[in-house]
Each structure stands twice: as structure tokens, then as C-alpha cells.
């Protein structure tokens, strides 16, 4: 119990520092690149004086560190700022309409945008995890228990092929074959949950080889641990040793993998896949924000995904120490 | 294994005098998957060198009269355009091969970069330990907490992408992984007796790192880096697809695939055929990398 | 003698082959016959490679590829185990025939509490037993093997147990089903001598209480002498001799056994063979190394308290002098601080307090140039011949490395120096360009020695340098050290747990306990008239075939050393000392002079008459 308090206090503090550092990095990056955000908000038509006034009003001429401090202050109160280009009603307004002044109140708050898109992304990611675990766990365990024999080879070839399929290409092939030609599943946009299946499949193809490899390696190496053969001399069956001990202990590397690699992978691939399928999740929001240079959205999503990774990591490490008490973090 | 351990090795068997790296490579080269991968890989490379000149084709030359010509076995294909042509009548085979060359170059250059930087930082962190270790590792933590794509999108989306910036972004995103591996390998190596012995002899820290530790830990890491070349090539294609990779007119897989999406229904080959070539090349790299990784694991775990 | 008892296990004509990767076969066991009767303890002695581990596993019918049984039968109460269906064998193996191996640390799943794992086994071999009944039984046996606070330790994980305690846990695991045969394969081998002696004593008691026949496999005849009724000698997969224990040692019949017994090192029946002066009387000799009140501790995370660290006190105020030409032995069991001391002496770490002076210079505060110069004259030889040599450099390059580091020689001079040093330590010059892969442990240790000798050091510290080698190779290297000492006048510090080796080569001995020197005395005084109860306990625990002046019933300790994190006040040895009295709980004894150059840290030395107990007189002459 004390250990848990100690663990979480320490790790959450470290995690907070990491998130702030990442936020500072992204924040700085977005402000040193060429391109004046004011122009993005107001469009090219307004006069230089108006633009300068707006910029001063919004604090965009202050030193970066001051701006960052203000931003963090707002974030701590749950305010991630407002989009530069999206109106509160939805849809994109912005520069092209050439308004003479910038009225912040009719721009959508970033937090609302994220709140509306997040559930879609969670559905997609959840589905992808479900599919890939359902396929990869049995395959990986089977390969690990038969290390060096044909199931192991099969798993190796299969994962080598799957990991070689670029997700953008695979997505297009799925759209073309499964949706456009065969008409089995819908693909573009979102109307009901079936729209999430194809993109989830693409994500799963990316996840499966990673999981298969990790599971088969850890199962086969755990199987070689002396306690497994000693257990059989002690009078326990091989079956019992595998189910009660080998699989249990193999779950630690799997947890680590799911925590660090898989969540990172899905977060990354999510953006591409959502863009590809025009799926209205947080990834599409991000990519459109990049095209429109909508900095508040980019910042907020970067901070969110970073924080998500940090939290997942902490939870995974805690679960690992609970399973194997030798581990210390 | 436990059974083998209790049986003494047969006496008088001459030991083979090879370095760790050579052992890993030779064992991997004996595996079927490595050979298949190597054959495909060499074939694709040869093709990309020979085919453009042999067929006398250019990657950028338009021929509007030949546009949307389908690939080889499909009816209506035109010699010598085996992969068909795109919306401007450019030959897709040559465009794909040049795209492959670029992707491979970017992949290799960025992996070398992240390997060198990551290993150097990781070895120092692992060897020196203490605060240096803590700070460097927290930096890698931070770096690893941003998905590669977000980092790439943020940087490349707001600057003008060139091959060099793409490589730099990949290095920036990839070095922490190598730093971690090098760090943990160094930490376990540092505790070994031969390192202690070298220090007792009076070797400086730099000498211990370069002469004693590096030759033992780097080859295994380098072999697994092969897998990362393939990963980086996929990332390169993704960036090109989103439109923040290397800019036209240089052909890359990403831009070719993205061009084809508009014509997916009537000219499906523009997207799918070049992607297939990419997938096959990646698969050959992954098969070799996978074999190397397995033989590394086997040798490092002492299973022979 | 229990020859008349019923035979439990009767093995006849057992042959086991190893199937090689090429398809060839190598015989591991050849036509082995043996039998064990009710209540008998049968010892099996064999050197490494004699096939004794394969035999002990074959006895529980555990022969798996690449090993195959070629012929023979193992009958258990008249039934041939080879003919039993697998599932019947499986339950018989856990229930009636138990097995304990030599590696207690890896025998159980590291992530599950030990109690739970023993219950798991109990329920697997005795279906129908209720959980609470199983639990009660496990706790009872945990108590019987004298594991302190069993109810609490029941829930602890394997890594929280020391080697000796873990071996007790495995004894519980084996005996909890009340087997009638226990196969113990080298179970005391990884343990410290006092702990191993405790386990042997425990096993003898349990054997009496549980009426279990034991097959005790070991590579040390001294261990079998302490426990076995009869001994069977296994050499190269064949049984060469079987006799009653005492008569085997006194009147071996087979040549192999005779040689084996003759080559065993003796402590009390042999004279030291060393070129160092036997007794130190004159203080005028040069002090080459002086350790003065050195402390070293480490911090580890405390899981029980918030943001706190525990301090492990590894070395707590050690002082001694090493004179030029001396052979000083530093002995002690694991956790006594000798490996920390070796790191401090070799200047890989600095002490928290105190000084280490080499020829009057404090090695902790040397600049890099001075330190480099010091390293030239002061070398350390490490324990593990396999890991101490870099695997990727050729042998010649490895030996040349120190010369390159210290510089000042041309390539040709280096090559000459390397060649002459290799010659001196007995390495063929053809090996110069070879990688160390495939060298034997002894050859590797010679490379290691050559690498240290190439710098012509004045002081050589040997940190368990010879413990990985067999008796013959160890003897050869001790001769080599002696020659080098004669020729170059080197001073040696042997850090070792091997008392018979220390008896043979050292003229002075420091006995360490829990980070302190408990006794520092000359060779004769250490082995024939030690003043500290711990030294006596160590000597009583040494497995030997000779008559021991210190018998285990009087001197052997109970329990294990206290945790170096939480050292009791007063004398740190009092918690295990059979002679402790009131004063020991409050006063921490310093190293006190007994006579001449002999010191001991014990109140019994100074307090002599006022102590309520005196140590019994020592019986040197034998019964």
C-alpha cells in the first residue's frame, strides 16, 4: 500500500514534468516556424495595422516563455484555447472569408472539438485492439509453445508479411476491394459503428505482428526457465506449468508492449487511418489542423496523446510490479 | 536446455574463432527466411538499377496519349509499361523504382543516424550512471511519449519538407529507442568482470567504452536496426501520402499512392501496383531483419 | 547399516545415451546397478562430468531428449518405472519419490509466493485434499525444517529467501507428501559452509523423523562423510565401487577411489606449503598495504516506507596490514563483505570512511597519473575465468592491453614482453592470435594471470581466483603463484571461501563476519587455536574426511547472519553465538590482541575469567 502511494506520487510527478516539457517543445516549435498565426486567423485581406493590433490583443507578441506560462495556466483550468479557424457551429471558417476583426467567441473551444471527436477514436482503437488480441494471442502462444517448429515459422512469416504492409496502401486496397468492389462494408466517413470496422482492421494488421512476436518470444523463453522442468519433476503436469506459470509470467512483457509500443503505434497510425477513411476522430481533427495551421488544436492533441502515453506507462509498470515483485520502478 | 546444461560438452571439439557479429550473421544466413528475403531484396535492387535504362523509360516524362494504361496481364496494356501508366501517362514501374530508391536511401540514412546518436547517448548514460543517466533517460521518456507521426506532422507540416528534413525528423523520433537499448546493454556489460578487469588495469573510461564495451554490444543492436529501415520506409510513404513528405516532382511511394486515390475506381493500379512493390521490398527486408533478430536472441541467450 | 531392510529402489543395468546433433550417440551412464533400502542414506560421489546429475534424474524416471534410456530397469517396490503409464509416473514422482536439485534459486516460479506453490503441488499429487488441510500441512513442515516465522514466510516470494532458506523450502516441498524416497542432487553445493552444514544436520534429523530413504548425490566426499550410510562411487558413467562410508574412506578398493581420496586437500593433517614466512614475529618488515578503519555502505529503496532508503552496511570498520612477502588470506561466507572489500582494495570504489594506504599513499585520493602508476604495481585477479577476459579480443591482444594502456613501449617490445609472460605462466605462444573461445577454465585463468603479471606488480589480490577450477588445476596454479613469488617477490592477498586452500598457502588469515574482521591470526593459530567462536563454527562446518577438532554439535551455528541493513547492537555475532553472555548484547568488541600478531574481536578473549562460559577445550588428537 505504501509502496503504491510512493510509486504513484513519484511516477505522476515525473510524468507531469515530461508532459510539460513536451508541451513546451511543441509550443516553441509552432512559434518559431515561419508563418504568422494572425494571418491564419484573419486571412490575407486585412491590413497590417489591424493584424498587429489583434496580435497584441491576443498576446502573440509577448516572449514565448510568457505565452507558454499563460497557456499552461489556462490548461490547468481546463481551457485549451479556441481554434483559429473552426467556428463554434462546426465547419471551418477562417481567413478566406476575410473578416475585418477577430472575434474569439465565435471560434470553437479546442476542448469541445476534442470531446466530440474522442469517442469515435476510442471506438476505433478499442475495436482494433480487440481484433488484434483475438488473432495474435492464440497465434503467439501457439508459436511460443512450439519454438523452432512449423507453427513458429508460420507466425514468423505471417508477421513479416503483415508488418511489411504500409497502412495507407492497405487502407486503400481494403476500400477498393472490400467496400467499392464487393460492397461488404462501408468505408468513408461515419454513420454507424460498421464504419469503424475497416479502419480497425488496418490498425489491427499493424498491431498483430508486434504482439505475435512479443508473445511468442516471451512464452518460449519462459518455457526454458528451470522452474518449468523442475515443476514437472516435483509432480506437476506440463500443462499445469504452462497454464498457471508460463502464460502468467509471459504477460509482463506483453503488458509492457501493449502499454508502450502498442498504444504509441495505435496513436500514430490512428491519425493516418482516420485521414484515409475520412473518419471523424481525433486524428482527422489533427491532420486538418496541420493543413490549416490551427496551432491550438495541434498543441492540445499533442499534449493529450503524450499524457495518455505517460499514464498508460505508469499503469503498466504498476501492473508489472504487482505480477512480478522482483521488478522495481 | 536444462538437459544440455547438465551434459558436459564433448572434449576436443575445436572452437570456431569468430566475433559475435559474424556469429549472429552466419547463423541468420543459414535460415530459410533470410535467404528468401535476400534473394528478393537483391532482385528488387537490381531491377531498380537496370530496368529504367533497359526499358528506356523516364519517371517524369508525360505521354497524355498513353494515360491510364493498365498493367501487364490486364487487357489493353502497352509495352513496355508493365505496371501501367498514371493519369499523366507516366510509367509507373520506373516511378515506383525511383520511389523505392529514395525510400531506401532515406530509410538507411535515418537509421544510421539514429543508431549512431542513440547508441552514443545510451552508452554514456549507461556507463556513467547517476544523474547523467537519470536526465538522459527522462529525455528519452519524453521523446518516446510523442508518437512519431505527431512529431513528424508537427515539424514537417509547418516547415518545408526536403529529404534532409525528413531524415532529421526520423532521427529525432528514432534515437531514444536506440539509446534505451544501448543503455541497458551497457549497464549489464559494465557489471561484467572483464570491464572491471580493464578498469583495474588502468584503462580510462573512454577506452573501456570504445575498446571493450562497444564491440560487444553494438553488432547485435545494428542487426536489429535492419527492421527499422523497413519501418522508416513505411513512415516515408505515410508522410508522402499526407503530403508532408518529399515534394513532387520527385516520385515517392506516398505521392504516387496519394495521386492514385482520386482514380481508385477506374484506374486502381495507380495506387495498388506501386504499393505492392513497396510491400514486397519491405517484406524482403523484414524477413532478413527477423532472421537476424532471432539469431541474435538465440546467441545472446546462449542457446545454440 | 540397513542392509537387511526392504529395498525401495533397485536399479539394474541402467544405461543412458546422449543423442548428438549429428545423430551419433555418446554413452553417459553405463550399466549402473544400485539399490536403496528403507531408511538408508546412500551417497553417490562423482566428479563433474561423471554423469551423476543424469543418474539422479534418471532415478526419478526423468530422462528427456537429447538423453535416451538405452537399457536396464528401475524397480520401485518391485514395479519397473519405465513400464508405468506417464500419468501414474507423474503422481508417483511428486508423491512417493521426491527430488531436490542443486539450484534452489530457480526451482520455483519467482512470481508466486512459496506457500502457494507448495500447496499447488500437494493438491496436484494428492487430489481431494482441502486447501485448509494442505495449508496446515505445509505450515507444519515449514516449522519442521526450522524456517523462522513460517506463517509469515509462507506468503513470501522465492527471491526473498536466501540460498539456504530456499533449499529448506524445497525440502518442505519434497517432504510434504511424506515420500519414501528422496533424491537430493548436490543440494549443498551452492551454499556457504555453515549453511550447508546446517542443511546436512537438518536432513539427518528429518530422515529420522520422516523415515525417508535418501539418495544423496554430491561431488564432495566430505559432505557424504557427514550424512551417508553407504557410498557408491561413479566415474565416467560407471559404478566403480560401493562400500560402507567409513570403510570406503579408510580402505578404498578401486584405484579411482584411492586417487580421489588422496587428492582431497586436508586442513589439519597437512602442513602448509608456502614460501611466505610461517610466523610473523618481526615488525620491521615493510608494510606494503595498510587498511585503516574502512567503511562502505550502499543505499537501496525501502518498499515499506515512503520515499525512504535503507542503508546496507557492507564493510564496517576493517583494519589490517599486509607485509611485503606475506600471503594474507581473507575468508568468510557470502555477505561478509569480502567482495566489497575487494572492490575497495582495487580502487573501483572509494570507501565512505577510512584509508587504504599502498606504500603509505592513500589510494582514494590519487590523481589520474598517480593512480595509473599505482595500478601498474597493484593488480587484482578476478573470480570468473569466463567473464574476466573480453571475448572479442585475441589472447595476445588481451595480454598486451595493460602495456598499451600504460604506454611507453614500442610494438616490438610489447610483443616480446607478452611472449615472455605467456611463457612464464605456461601458455603456448601459438595461442597469441587466437580468441579465448574454447579455452579451458585453467587456460583462461592463465591468460588472466599473464595480463596482470605483464605489468610486474608488487601486490596481487586474488579474488576467488581459483574457486572455479578443479583440484588438479588449482594445485598447478598455486605452484605457479609460488614460483612467481620466489622469482619476483610478489605479495599476495587471497580472498576466498575455501579454507583448505587458505590453510595451504597463506601465512596469515583474516576471518570476516558481517563486514568486520572477526579474527586475524597466523595460519597455525587460525586452524588449531582460533579464539573467535565464528572461526570455530566455520572450521566445524568444513566438509572433511579427516578428524575435525571442532565438532558440529558444539560449535555449529543456528540461523543465518543478520541482515546487513539491520545489524543488532552489541556484538554482531551474538545472535548466533553459542557462547554469548550479557555483555555481548551491549558492548561491541573491538579486534583485541591475544598474543604476538594474533587478534580476535570477542569478549571471551579479554574477559576470560569473568565470562560465565568458557569455550570447551579443543580435541586435537582425535578420538
Task: Tell me, letter by letter, the H, E, C secondary structure of A131-189.
Answer: HHHHHHHHHHHHHHHCCCCHHHHHHHHHHHHHHCCCHHHHHHHHHHHHHHHCCCCCCCC
Q: Is the pLDDT of residue C278 over 50?
A: yes
- Least confident window among A9-18, C169-178, C412-421, C550-559: C550-559
According to the model, what pLDDT value does residue C2 have?
40
Mean pLDDT of A197-214: 91
How far is residue C203's CA from residue C215's CA, in Å, rounded to a whole number? 12
Query: Are A166 and B279 in contact (CB < 8 Å)?
Result: yes
Ranges of beta strands (E only) in chain A are 82-87, 107-109
How far is residue A301's CA from residue A295's CA, in Å, rounded to a whole number? 10
DSSP state for residue C177 in the 8-state scheme: T
Write phi, then psi, for C465 (nearest 5 degrees).
Answer: -60, -30
Q: Where are the domains of chain A?
A: 2-106, 113-323
Closest listed residue to residue C506, CA positions, set C322, C339, C263 = C322
Specify the CATH class of C7-262 in words: alpha beta
Select from A173, A293, A305 the Cβ nearest to the Cβ of B158: A293
How far is residue B274's CA from residue C350's CA, in Å, rounded to a whole number? 63
According to the model, what pLDDT value does residue C439 have?
81
pTM check: above 0.90: no
Neighboring chain C residues of A232 at a CB cutoff of 8 Å: 62, 90
Over its C-alpha atoms, chain B yields an Rg (Å, rounded) of 24
How far is residue C188's CA from residue C163's CA, in Å, rounded to a whole number? 10
Closest listed residue to residue B241, CA positions, set B267, B275, B280, B277 = B275
Q: Nearest-CA distance from A231 to chain C in Å?
A: 7
Select from B6, B202, B216 the Cβ nearest to the Cβ of C402: B202
Select from B15, B201, B211 the Cβ nearest to the Cβ of C375: B201
**For residue A239, what is its C-alpha cell?**
500443462
Q: Nearest-CA distance from A238 to chain C in Å?
A: 10
Percentage of chain C lying above the pLDDT 90 cut? 11
Interface residue of C111, C171, C300 to substitute, partner A, most A CBs within 10 Å: C111
Neighboring chain B residues of C451 at a CB cutoff of 8 Å: 197, 201
Mean pLDDT of C401-412: 86
Query: Are A22 and B145 in contact (CB < 8 Å)?
Result: yes
Please state the separation of Cα B250 from the chain's center in Å: 21
Reported as a pLDDT band with limits 50, 70 and 90, residue C510 is very high
Q: Is the pLDDT of residue C1 over 50?
A: no
Mean pLDDT of C10-21: 87
Closest listed residue to residue C567, CA positions, set C166, C196, C297, C194 = C297
According to the model, what pLDDT value does residue B302 have?
56
Neighboring chain A residues of C107 at a CB cutoff of 8 Å: 226-227, 230
Q: Where are the domains of chain C?
A: 7-262
Contact C173, C569 (CB under 8 A): no
Select from B146, B149, B287 the Cβ nearest to the Cβ of A306: B146
Element containing residue C134 per DSSP (H, E): helix C131-144
**For residue B148, what is its C-alpha cell?**
512519431
Contact A209, A135 (CB under 8 A): no
How far is residue C428's CA from residue C97's CA, in Å, rounded to a whole number? 50
Closest listed residue to residue A278, CA positions, set A114, A113, A120, A123 = A120
Contact C391, C435 (CB under 8 A): yes
Q: Kindly write down the DSSP assignment for every residue of C529-573, as one continuous string.
A: S--SHHHHHHHHHS--SSPPSS-HHHHPPPS-PPPTTSPPSS-TT
Rounded to 5 degrees, what angle do the CA atoms C445, C449, C453 make? 170
How far is residue A282's CA from residue A284's CA, in Å, rounded to a whole number? 6
User: Cβ atoms within 10 A of the Cβ of A140, count?
Assistant: 27
Interface residue of A10, A234, A320 to substitute, partner C, most C CBs within 10 Å: A234
Per-residue pLDDT tens over the stretch C423-459:
888 888 888 888 887 788 888 888 988 998 888 889 9
Neighboring chain C residues of B216 at a CB cutoff of 8 Å: 390-392
Q: Is the pLDDT of residue A34 over 80?
A: no
Three-state SS for C11?
Answer: strand
Percentage of chain A lying above the pLDDT 90 cut? 12
Per-residue pLDDT tens over the stretch C370-380:
888 888 888 88
How far is residue C503's CA from residue C301's CA, in Å, rounded to a whole number? 40
Q: Nearest-CA distance from A320 to chain C in Å?
A: 10
Closest listed residue to residue C185, CA positions, set C88, C295, C97 = C97
Which regions in chain B score pLDDT beneath 70?
1-19, 56-61, 64-65, 76, 78-79, 147, 158, 301-304
Select from B155, B265, B278 the Cβ nearest to the Cβ of A180: B265
Reported as a pLDDT band with limits 50, 70 and 90, residue C274 is low
According to the model, what pLDDT value does residue C210 have?
84
For residue A326, give the chain C residue with the closest CA.
C159
Three-state SS for C87?
Answer: helix
Enter the ipTM: 0.81
Query: Are C124 and A324 in contact (CB < 8 Å)?
Result: no
Q: Left, alpha or beta for B57 (phi > 0: left; psi -120 to 50: alpha)?
A: beta
Write phi, then psi, for C33 (nearest 5 degrees).
Answer: -115, 135
Select from C389, C390, C406 the Cβ nearest to the Cβ of B202: C406
For chain A, give the mean pLDDT. Answer: 82
On the CB side of A288, CA atoms within 13 Å amount to: 20
According to the model, what pLDDT value does residue B45 have?
87
According to the model, what pLDDT value does residue C86 have?
81
Query: Are B194 and C388 in contact (CB < 8 Å)?
Result: yes
DSSP state for residue C1 in the 8-state scheme: -
According to the model, what pLDDT value does residue C611 have?
46
Per-residue pLDDT tens over the stretch C327-345:
999 998 888 888 889 888 8
Q: Left, alpha or beta for C185 (phi > 0: left; psi -120 to 50: alpha)?
A: beta
Percentage of chain C lying above the pLDDT 70 cut? 93
On the CB side of C551, CA atoms within 13 Å amount to: 10
Length of chain B: 304
Q: Kindly write down the DSSP assignment for every residue of C424-481, as one continuous string.
A: HHT--GGGGGS-STT--HHHHHHHHHHHHHTT--SEEEEESTTTTS-HHHHHHHHHHH
According to the model, what pLDDT value does residue B8 have?
40
Query: Are A325 and C157 in contact (CB < 8 Å)?
Result: yes
Q: Count chain A–chain C contacts defined by CB atoms under 8 A.
A: 75
In CATH, which of 3.40.980.10, 3.30.365.10, 1.10.3720.10, 3.40.50.970 is domain A113-323?
A: 1.10.3720.10
Rounded to 5 degrees, what angle do the CA atoms A23, A25, A30 make? 95
Closest listed residue to residue A312, CA positions, set C617, B147, C1 = B147
Over its C-alpha atoms, chain A yields an Rg (Å, rounded) of 24
Per-residue pLDDT tens over the stretch A226-267:
888 888 888 888 888 888 899 988 888 888 877 777 777 777
Q: Is A323 on the interface with C (CB under 8 A)?
A: yes
Amino acid at each position: 500500500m505504501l509502496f503504491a502511494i510512493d510509486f504513484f506520487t513519484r511516477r505522476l510527478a515525473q510524468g507531469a514534468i515530461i508532459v510539460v516539457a513536451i508541451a513546451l517543445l511543441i509550443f516553441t516549435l509552432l512559434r518559431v516556424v515561419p508563418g504568422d498565426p494572425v494571418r491564419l486567423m484573419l486571412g490575407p485581406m486585412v491590413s497590417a495595422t489591424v493584424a498587429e493590433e489583434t496580435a497584441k490583443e491576443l498576446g502573440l507578441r509577448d516572449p514565448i516563455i510568457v505565452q507558454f506560462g499563460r497557456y499552461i495556466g489556462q490548461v490547468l483550468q481546463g481551457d485549451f484555447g479556441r481554434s483559429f479557424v473552426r467556428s463554434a457551429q462546426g465547419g471551418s471558417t477562417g481567413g478566406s472569408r476575410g473578416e475585418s476583426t477577430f472575434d474569439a467567441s465565435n471560434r470553437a473551444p479546442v476542448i469541445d472539438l476534442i470531446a466530440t471527436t474522442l469517442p469515435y477514436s476510442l471506438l476505433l482503437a478499442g475495436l482494433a485492439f480487440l481484433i488484434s488480441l483475438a488473432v495474435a494471442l492464440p497465434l503467439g502462444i501457439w508459436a511460443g509453445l512450439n519454438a523452432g517448429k512449423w507453427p513458429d515459422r508460420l507466425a514468423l512469416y505471417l508477421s513479416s508479411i503483415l508488418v511489411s504492409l504500409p497502412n495507407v496502401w492497405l487502407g486503400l486496397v481494403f476500400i477498393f476491394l472490400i467496400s467499392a468492389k464487393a460492397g461488404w462494408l462501408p468505408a468513408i466517413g461515419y454513420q454507424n459503428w460498421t464504419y469503424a470496422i475497416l479502419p480497425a482492421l488496418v490498425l489491427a494488421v499493424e498491431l498483430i505482428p508486434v504482439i505475435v512476436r512479443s508473445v511468442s518470444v516471451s512464452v518460449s523463453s519462459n518455457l526454458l526457465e528451470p522452474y518449468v522442468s523442475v515443476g514437472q519433476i516435483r509432480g506437476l503436469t506440463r500443462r499445469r506449468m504452462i497454464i498457471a506459470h508460463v502464460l502468467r509470467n509471459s504477460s509482463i512483457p506483453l503488458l509492457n508492449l501493449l502499454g508502450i509500443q502498442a498504444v504509441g503505434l495505435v496513436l500514430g497510425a490512428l491519425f493516418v487511418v482516420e485521414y484515409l477513411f475520412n473518419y471523424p476522430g481525433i486524428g482527422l481533427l489533427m491532420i486538418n489542423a496541420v493543413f490549416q495551421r490551427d496551432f491550438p488544436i495541434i498543441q492540445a492533441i499533442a499534449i493529450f496523446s503524450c499524457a495518455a502515453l505517460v499514464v498508460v506507462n505508469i499503469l503498466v509498470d504498476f501492473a508489472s510490479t504487482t505480477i512480478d515483485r522482483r521488478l522495481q520502478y | 536446455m536444462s538437459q544440455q546444461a547438465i551434459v558436459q560438452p564433448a572434449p576436443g571439439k575445436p572452437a570456431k574463432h569468430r566475433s559475435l557479429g559474424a556469429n549472429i550473421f552466419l547463423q541468420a544466413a543459414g535460415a530459410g527466411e533470410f535467404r528468401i528475403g535476400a534473394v528478393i531484396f537483391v532482385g528488387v535492387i537490381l531491377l531498380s538499377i537496370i530496368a529504367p535504362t533497359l526499358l528506356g523509360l523516364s519517371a517524369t516524362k508525360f505521354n497524355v496519349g498513353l494515360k491510364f494504361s493498365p498493367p501487364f496481364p490486364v487487357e489493353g496494356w502497352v509495352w513496355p509499361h508493365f505496371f501501367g501508366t498514371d493519369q499523366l501517362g507516366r510509367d509507373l514501374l520506373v516511378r515506383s523504382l525511383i520511389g523505392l530508391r529514395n525510400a531506401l536511401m532515406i530509410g538507411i540514412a535515418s537509421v544510421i543516424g539514429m543508431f549512431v546518436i542513440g547508441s552514443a547517448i545510451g552508452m554514456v548514460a549507461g556507463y556513467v550512471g547517476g544523474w547523467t543517466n537519470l536526465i538522459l533517460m527522462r529525455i528519452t521518456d519524453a521523446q518516446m511519449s510523442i508518437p512519431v507521426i505527431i512529431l513528424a506532422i508537427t515539424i514537417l507540416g509547418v516547415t518545408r519538407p526536403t529529404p534532409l528534413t525528413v531524415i532529421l525528423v526520423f532521427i529525432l523520433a528514432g534515437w531514444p529507442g536506440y539509446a534505451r537499448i544501448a543503455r541497458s546493454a551497457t549497464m549489464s556489460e559494465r557489471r561484467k568482470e572483464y570491464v572491471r578487469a580493464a578498469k583495474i588495469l588502468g584503462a580510462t573510461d573512454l577506452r573501456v567504452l570504445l575498446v571493450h564495451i562497444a564491440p560487444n554490444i553494438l553488432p547485435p543492436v545494428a542487426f536489429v536496426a535492419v527492421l527499422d529501415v523497413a519501418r522508416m520506409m513505411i513512415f516515408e510513404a505515410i508522410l508522402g501520402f499526407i503530403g508532408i513528405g518529399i515534394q513532387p516532382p520527385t516520385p515517392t511511394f506516398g505521392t504516387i499512392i496519394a495521386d492514385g486515390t482520386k482514380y481508385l475506381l477506374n484506374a486502381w493500379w495507380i495506387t495498388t501496383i506501386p504499393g505492392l512493390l513497396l510491400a514486397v521490398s519491405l517484406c524482403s527486408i523484414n524477413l532478413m531483419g527477423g532472421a537476424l533478430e532471432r539469431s541474435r536472441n538465440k546467441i545472446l541467450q546462449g542457446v545454440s | 547399516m540397513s542392509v537387511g531392510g526392504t529395498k525401495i529402489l533397485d536399479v539394474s543395468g541402467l544405461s543412458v545415451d546422449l543423442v548428438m546433433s549429428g545423430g551419433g550417440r555418446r554413452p553417459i551412464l553405463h550399466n549402473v546397478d544400485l539399490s536403496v533400502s528403507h531408511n538408508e542414506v546412500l551417497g553417490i560421489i562423482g566428479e563433474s562430468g561423471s554423469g551423476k546429475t543424469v543418474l539422479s534424474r534418471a532415478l526419478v524416471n526423468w530422462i528427456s531428449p537429447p538423453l535416451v534410456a538405452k537399457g536396464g530397469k528401475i524397480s520401485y517396490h518391485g514395479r519397473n518405472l519405465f513400464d508405468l503409464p506417464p500419468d501414474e509416473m507423474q503422481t508417483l514422482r511428486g508423491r512417493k519419490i521426491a527430488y531436490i536439485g542443486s539450484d534452489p534459486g530457480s526451482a520455483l516460479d519467482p512470481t508466486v509466493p512459496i506457500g502457494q506453490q507448495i500447496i499447488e503441488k500437494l493438491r496436484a499429487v494428492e487430489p481431494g485434499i482441502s486447501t485448509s488441510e494442505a495449508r496446515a500441512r505445509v505450515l507444519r513442515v515449514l516449522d519442521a525444517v526450522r524456517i523462522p516465522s513460517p506463517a509469515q514466510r509462507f506468503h513470501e516470494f522465492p527471491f526473498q529467501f536466501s540460498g539456504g532458506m530456499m533449499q529448506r523450502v524445497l525440502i518442505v516441498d519434497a517432504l510434504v507428501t511424506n515420500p519414501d524416497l528422496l533424491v537430493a542432487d548436490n543440494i549443498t553445493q551452492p551454499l556457504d559452509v555453515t549453511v550447508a552444514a546446517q542443511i546436512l544436520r537438518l536432513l539427518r534429523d528429518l530422515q529420522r523423523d520422516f523415515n525417508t530413504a535418501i539418495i544423496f548425490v554430491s561431488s564432495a566426499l566430505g559432505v557424504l562423510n557427514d550424512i551417508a550410510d553407504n557410498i557408491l562411487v561413479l566415474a565416467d558413467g560407471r559404478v566403480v565401487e560401493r562400500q560402507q562410508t567409513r570403510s570406503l574412506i579408510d580402505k578404498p578398493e578401486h584405484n579411482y577411489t584411492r586417487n580421489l581420496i588422496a587428492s582431497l586437500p586436508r586442513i589439519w593433517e597437512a602442513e602448509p606449503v608456502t614460501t611466505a614466512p610461517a610466523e610473523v614475529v618481526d615488525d620491521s618488515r615493510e608494510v606494503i598495504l595498510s587498511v585503516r578503519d574502512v567503511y562502505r555502505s550502499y543505499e537501496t529503496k525501502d518498499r515499506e516506507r515512503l520515499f525512504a532508503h535503507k542503508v546496507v552496511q557492507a564493510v564496517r570498520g576493517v583494519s589490517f596490514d599486509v607485509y611485503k612477502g606475506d600471503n594474507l588470506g581473507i575468508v568468510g561466507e557470502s555477505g561478509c563483505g569480502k567482495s566489497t572489500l575487494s572492490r575497495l582494495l582495487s580502487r573501483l570504489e572509494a570507501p565512505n570512511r577510512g584509508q587504504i594506504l599502498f606504500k603509505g599513499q592513500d589510494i582514494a585520493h590519487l590523481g589520474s597519473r598517480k593512480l595509473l602508476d599505482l595500478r601498474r604495481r597493484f593488480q587484482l585477479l578476478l573470480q570468473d575465468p569466463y567473464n574476466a577476459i573480453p571475448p572479442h579480443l585475441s589472447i595476445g591482444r588481451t595480454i598486451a592491453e595493460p602495456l598499451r594502456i600504460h604506454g611507453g613501449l614500442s610494438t616490438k617490445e610489447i610483443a616480446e614482453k607478452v611472449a615472455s609472460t605467456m611463457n612464464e605462466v605456461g601458455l603456448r605462444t601459438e595461442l597469441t592470435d587466437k580468441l579465448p573461445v574454447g579455452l579451458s577454465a585453467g587456460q583462461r585463468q592463465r591468460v588472466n594471470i599473464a595480463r596482470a603479471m605483464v605489468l610486474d606488480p608488487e601486490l596481487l589480490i586474488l579474488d576467488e581466483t581459483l574457486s572455479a577450477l578443479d583440484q588438479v588445476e588449482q594445485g598447478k596454479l598455486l605452484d605457479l603463484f609460488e614460483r612467481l613469488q620466489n622469482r619476483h617477490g610478489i605479495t599476495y592477498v587471497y580472498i576466498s571461501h575455501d579454507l583448505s586452500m587458505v590453510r595451504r598457502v597463506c601465512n596469515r588469515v583474516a576471518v570476516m563476519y558481517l563486514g568486520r574482521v572477526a579474527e586475524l591470526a597466523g595460519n597455525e593459530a587460525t586452524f588449531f587455536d582460533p579464539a573467535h567462536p565464528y572461526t570455530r563454527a566455520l572450521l566445524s562446518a568444513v566438509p572433511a574426511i579427516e578428524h575435525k577438532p571442532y565438532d558440529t554439535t558444539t560449535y555449529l551455528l543456528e540461523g543465518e547472519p543478520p541482515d546487513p541493513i539491520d545489524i543488532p547492537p552489541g556484538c554482531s555475532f551474538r545472535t548466533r553465538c553459542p557462547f554469548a553472555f550479557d555483555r555481548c548484547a551491549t558492548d561491541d568488541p573491538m579486534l583485541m590482541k591475544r598474543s604476538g600478531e594474533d587478534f580476535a574481536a570477542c569478549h571471551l578473549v579479554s574477559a576470560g575469567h569473568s565470562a560465565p562460559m568458557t569455550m570447551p577445550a579443543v580435541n586435537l588428537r582425535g578420538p
